[in-house]
Each structure stands twice: as C-alpha cells, then as structure tokens.
Chain A
Amino acid sequence: MRRLSKIAAVVAVAALALVGCGRNDEPSTAPDASESTSTGDLCADSTGDGPKVGLAYDVGGRGDQSFNDSAFAGLEKAVGDLGATCVEGEATEGEAESAREGRLREMADAGLNPIIGVGFAYSTSVNVVAPEYPEVSFAVIDGFDPDAEANPNVAYLGFAEQEGSFLVGAAAALKSEADHIGFVGGVNIDLIKKFQAGFEAGAREINPDIVIDVQYIEETDLAGFADPAGGKEAATALFDKGADIVYHAAGASGSGVFEAATEADKWAIGVDSDQYLSAPADQQAHILTSMLKRVDVATFNMVKSVADGSPLVSYTTYNLAAEGVGYSTSGGYIDDIAADLDALAERIKSGEIEVPTVPAS
C-alpha cells in the first residue's frame, strides 16, 4: 500500500507537471522569453493616460508567435499610439468556466475598459459578465453571442480566415512541385475548418487535380493549439505521404510544423502572424509565406474605438477588403507569384470569387 502510494504520487505529480509544461515548452525565440513567470514589462511600464486595456488570453497565452502574440502586437501599438495602459491575464489549462468569468470580473472591478477576450472560448463567459458591467466595453476575438439576447456592450471581432487561406492555398499550388500539399489543423472545429476550406479552394483554383491531405492534432481538445510535438508528428506524416508544402492553422503547435518542414527539407506556411519573422534562422528558409490574420488590427481598433468614445459593438468581420486578412512576403520566396496572388485577391474583393467556409469533402 505504501509503495503504491509513492508510485501514485510520482505519477500524479508528473501529470500535473506535464499539464504545466505542455504549453510552455515551445522554443522561445521571441525577445521576451520570460512569459511563463511574468507578463512582461509593456504593461508594467505603460503610464499613458489613454484607455486602460484588459487583455485576457486563452490557454497558451503570449509567446505562441501566432494568434496571441498578434493580439499583443495590437496592444503594443495602442500603448504607443494612444497612450493606453494595460493588464494581461491568461487562462490555465483545465480551468473552470467560473475562473474565466472571475478573470473578466477582476479586470472590470480594476476599472479596465475595454476588456478583450482573445479567443472564441471567452464567448460564453463574456456573455455572463458583460451584463453585470454595462459601462464597460467588452470584445471577443473570433467570438459569438451564445444566446438570442444581444449584448449592447460587447463587440464580436471575426475574420474571413477563408479568404486569406485561399491566397496561401493558391501560392502552395503554384509552388508545389509534387502537386501534393497538406494542411495541419490544431483542433477539428468549425473555426479551423474555415482555414482548411479556403486553403483547399485556393489550391484547386490553380490546379483542380492537386492532392491535398489534411491532419488534425486534436478532435475537440483545445490543447491541440499548444502542442508542438503533435504538430510535428502531423506535419511529418503529411510530408511522408508526399506533400511538399504544409499549411498549419494550429497556433503554438505550428512551431512543430516548422521543425518538421526543416527536417524534411520541404516548405511550411505559417498562420496569423508573419511567422518568418519569429522563426529561428534555420527554419526561416522553409517558411514559404504566412496567412496573416490581423488580430493586431482588430485589437488596436477596439482600443481606439473606446478612446474615441464610440466603442465597437456587435459583429465586425475583418476580411480581405478591410485588410483584416492577407499573406506575408518576408523571405521573398513568393515574389515571383505575387502578381497572380494579388489578381486573385482582387477577384475575391470584388465578389467574383466567393470562398467557401466549409471544406468541400
């Protein structure tokens, strides 16, 4: 019995420890490598008299070099341009819904306005907390109103990810020598299927016969966005099957996709931020382009709308026409096809091409 409890204790502690490190072990090449213990200096040092911004991240938080970091970039700009001050909060894995609500209430009680939930997982908790603080403006990036009752103080900031993904899909089809490409999704949910749908449609627009393989890291567990090992495994499988370009929509798991591309000497396409800029030098030569989802623009605009006295409410969609999505050219690997991509972009903006949001098959 005593021996069992010792073994059990070790396993239990290991389980807790693994949970803890699951999201913090991605290689930290960002200038601020201390994100696991402190939320950095930007907010501590900001002393402006602009809006007091509360930014609540989802699991993973800052340092994913993708989605969350993009929101942080918007915050940085708000601090610089609008004299904003800020407080950051971050979800822990496996936390209760009440903890999420608690984080938002703490921020509202601390006098922050606006309060921005980064990630659709804040939709339900914002819906509970926002009515309690009618004078505070809330925003949820990728969010939605879960009930029929409209919230007069919540902005839902969505993106036309399928349009940006369409362009990188076309770029992949133009650049693929094997006529075989792949897609790695973090979690098999409707949000990520939008990326997949656009990517496939864009590739087929260029080459209707192209082979496209799809791998998801997790079915519903949001840990799929913070699992570099899982991302590497999925991408390696796609490269082994014959793909020579893999696009990922997997948040922090994407660093594993870049590793796989580097080891296989193939191409990867980044997501959300311009991931060429944050990747280590050896991986940069394998990042063809990145689909830009301008979470920074959405974050900044939200803060600005509050500073201007007319806070955003209800749904706003950042699409190609609004420059809310796009693609990056860092590295110069797609300079030769930029004209083709821009022509496609014009056809999407004019409405001539309507990009699907649900994968065809």
Chain B
Amino acid sequence: MNPAVLVRKLGLALLAPLIAVVAAMIVTSGVLVVAGASIGDFWSVIFSAPSGRNWTNIVNQSSMIFLAALAASIGFRMNLFNIGIEGQYTLASYTAALVAGLALFPGKLNVLAALLIAMGVGGVWAGIAGILKVTRGVSEVISTIMLNAIAGGIVGYLISNYGEQFGQGRRTTPIPEGSSFDGWALFGDNSGEVWSLVLLAVLAGVGVSFLINRTRFGFDLRATGLNEDAAVASGVNVKKMVVVSMLLSGGIAGLIWMPALFNGADYYGPPFQRLLGFTGIAVALLGRNRPIGIFFGAVLFAWLSEQANPLSLIADISPSVVQITQGVVVLTVVIAYEVVRRWSASAEQRSLRNAEAST
C-alpha cells in the first residue's frame, strides 16, 4: 500500500477518537466553569495515577461494559437498534442467580449451567422483539424498551414475593461456595481481586469477532447492515437474520453481570449493578461496533467512573459531572468521524486530481 494512503487510513482511525476526547474535555471544562467548580482539580483527579485497587475495579468494570457494548454492537452491525439490553441482562441475571442458588449441579458445573441459562433467557427476551419485528413489523426500538420495563416489573415482583429476606430488602438464595471463583490479585496485596470471569468478556470478544468477520453468517449480517436490498437480492433471508442476530445480541447481554455474580456478588439483590445496558449502547457507538474499539471504549468509561469516585471528597465536585463527559464523548465521536471522513474524502479527491495533473 502506498504510504500516503496508509497515513490517511491511520489518521482516520486515530484522529477521530482523539478529536472526540479532546472536544469532550473542552465541553466538560465548560460545564465545570458554569458550575463554579475548579477545572484543574477535576482533571487532576481524573488523570491521577490509579492505585492497585482502582486498576482492579477498572478491569472488572471494563469486562461488564465490554460485554454490554458487544451485545449492542451485534444489532447495530445490521441496523437493529437493540436498546433492550438493560432488560435482557436484568432478567438473565436474576434467573441465573436463582438457578445457581438452587445448586442443582455440583461445583463449577453449576456455573456452566447458570451461564447457559443466562444466555438463553437474555436471548429469548431479545428474540421476542425480533419475532415481533419480522411477523408484525413492530419496530425493535419500541418493543425492546417496553420489554425493559416488563423485565424490571417481573424481576421486582418475583424477588419481593419469593425472594429471601435480606435486611430491609430481598435477594435470591446465595450460590453455594463451591460455585464461586477466587479471582486473581494482579495489582498487589490488599487491592482486591480481578474476577476470573473477566475471561468471559475476552472469549465473547474473540468469538463475536470471528463470527462477524470470518463466517458466512457474519458476511450476511454485515451485508444486510450495509444495504438490505442488495442483501435480499443476493439471497440473504433477512427475516431469519433479524431473529438470529437478536437472539445472539440478547444471549451476550445475558452474560453481562455473570463475572460479578460468580466472583463475590453471590446473589441477585440490592447490590445488583443497574444501567450497564445503556452504558453498553454508548460504548458500542464509541467503539464503532468493532470489538477492539469497544475494548478501548469500555476501558475509558470504566476509568472515568472509577476515577470520578473520590471527586466529591477531594475536589468537592459531584461525580455526576463524569456522566456529562461520557455522554459528550459519544456525541463528539460520531461528529468527529463524520468530519474526518469528509476531510479524508476531499484529500483523496485532491490527490487524485494531482495525480491526473502530473501525468
């Protein structure tokens, strides 16, 4: 490849995220000024070197955000807007915790069973939206967001009626001791443990990457996303693709909370971490729906959230400011890609003209 083209390609890949992050920093700083807080304090807290424990938390959180974004990206790749990830992983987490708590299987076999159930429940919940779309033409945006509310209601009803008493709240029966993992203290003693099931995110990332880029199914999926009419003309069964990719997206969504469950959370109850589904949508956009991009996006979001925690203690700034940063990054990344795409298109035209002129 000609070096100029290579530079342009690299520029497109690196310039846009860079512009996006810088723009987000400028906007956030503006918000800080309006709110009367110190810009210097804010960024010095955010960019301070994370402690061992911070690193542990960043890795653990990244794994869940990555899974959520991966689930969203599968739909996005074929223009399916699955915003029901929140409901899919809530229902899947509850069911998996419930089944694991029953201890139907010994030891780690219990974990495997729970993972399969989580994927199954998440898949089925997303599949409902897929089937509604292909049979009745219901927009998946509408159906998935409704299914979120329904999932929340079902889990709430079940847990408050059949859950185990736990202080002022309710929870599922804790999983047996033999079914949880110990994790690894990668960042020194007294710094907490990196969850073993972080590997689940790695496996899912590699698996999805292979599926999308190296299989017939992945080709059909990308083709449908790029041009549905052309895909139909070349023999792709779009209806089948819609249902299958919703099942797949929901199946991965089902896994989101599993690393936490089997590395210390032990039950579904008040400490359950909500809203990862929506974070996932944002990170999928940030990562341009590519697993490697999503990986960096997930780490960025986990970093921002983790570093924001001491903000109110050290700098007297509300940690909510970080949510503004995260939201703005998503907007600026979309804008930045568009801007960079136009630059590179016009640069290409110029170089073509120059090439013509010189011959």
Residues of chain A touching chain B, judged by Cβ–Cβ distance below 8 Å, are: 1-2, 4-13, 15-17, 19-20, 24, 34, 36-39, 44, 87-90, 92-99, 102-103, 105-107, 110, 120-121, 123-125, 132, 142-144, 146, 188-191, 218-222
Map CB proximity to A onto B68-84 as digits: 1 under 8 Å, 0 otherwise: 00000000100101010
| CB-based contact A13/B156 at 8 Å | no
Among B190, B282, B305, B310, contact of A12 (Cβ-Cβ < 8 Å): B282
Nearest chain-B residue to A16 (Cβ)? B327
Which one of A8, A37, A39, A94 lies within 8 Å of B281 (CB-CB)? A8
Q: Tell me, yes or no, whether B313 is within 8 Å of chain A by CB.
A: yes
Scoring A6, A9, A17 by chain B CB atoms within 10 A of each residue's CB, the highest score goes to A9
Residues of B within 8 A of A94 (CB): 273-276, 279
A219→B153 contact, CB < 8 A: yes
| Residues of B267-288 contacting chain A, CB below 8 A | 270-271, 273-276, 278-279, 281-282, 285
Q: A148 to B260, alpha carbons, bound, how many Å?
A: 22
Query: Which B residues touch A220, using CB under 8 A?
Result: 152, 155-156, 159-160, 169-170, 270
Q: B80's closest neighbor in chain A, by CB?
A: A4
Task: Give Cα A24 to B320, complex, Å.
Answer: 10
* A–B Cβ pairs within 8 angstroms, 26 of them: A5-B76, A5-B285, A13-B282, A13-B328, A15-B278, A15-B281, A95-B305, A96-B273, A97-B260, A99-B309, A102-B310, A106-B313, A110-B313, A120-B167, A120-B168, A121-B271, A123-B167, A143-B167, A188-B156, A189-B170, A190-B167, A219-B152, A219-B159, A220-B156, A220-B159, A220-B169
Collect the chain A residues with CB atoms within 8 Å of residue B225's CB. Answer: 1
- Taking the complex as formed, is B100 at the interface, i.e. its CB lies under 8 A from any CB of chain A? no
A1 adjacent to B226 (CB under 8 Å)? yes
* A341 to B310 Cα, complex, angstroms: 46
The smallest C-beta distance from A233 to any residue of chain B, in angstroms, reads 14
- Cβ–Cβ < 8 Å partners of B52 in chain A: none
Q: Which 5 A-B pairs have the closest CB atoms?
A: A219-B156, A94-B275, A144-B167, A191-B168, A37-B35
State whether A38 touches B317 (Cβ < 8 A).
Answer: yes
**Additional A-B contact list (15), CB under 8 Å, known A4-B76, A39-B318, A219-B153:** A6-B334, A13-B330, A15-B282, A20-B320, A36-B318, A37-B317, A37-B321, A94-B276, A95-B273, A98-B60, A99-B306, A120-B168, A146-B166, A189-B168, A219-B157
- A15 to B279 Cα, complex, angstroms: 9
CA distance A97 to B271 in the complex (A): 6
A88 to chain B: closest residue by CB: B312
Closest to A89 in B: B312
A190→B170 CA distance, assembly (Å) = 8
Rounded to whole Å, the gap between the CB of A158 and the closest CB of chain B is 9
Residues from 241 to 260 in B contacting A, C-beta threshold 8 Å: 260
- Within 8 Å CB of B157, what residues of A? 219
Residues from chain A with a CB closer than 8 A to the CB of B28 are none
Q: Is the CB of B285 within 8 A of A1?
A: no
| Distance in angstroms between the alpha carbons of A10 and B319 in the assembled complex | 22
B334 to A9, Cβ gap below 8 A? yes
Note all chain A residues with C-beta closer than 8 A to B133. none
- Chain B 302-326 interface mask (CB, 8 Å, partner A; 1/0): 0001101110110011111101101
Given contacts A94-B275, A189-B168, contact A13 B60 (CB under 8 A): no
- Are A12 and B285 in contact, with the CB atoms below 8 A? yes
Q: Determine whether the beta carbon of B309 is less than 8 Å from that of A102.
A: yes
Contact A190 B310 (CB under 8 A): no
Closest chain-B Cβ to A96's Cβ sits at a distance in Å of 5
A98-B323 in contact given A9-B285, A219-B153 (Cβ < 8 Å): no
Q: A87 — nearest CB in chain B belongs to which residue?
A: B313
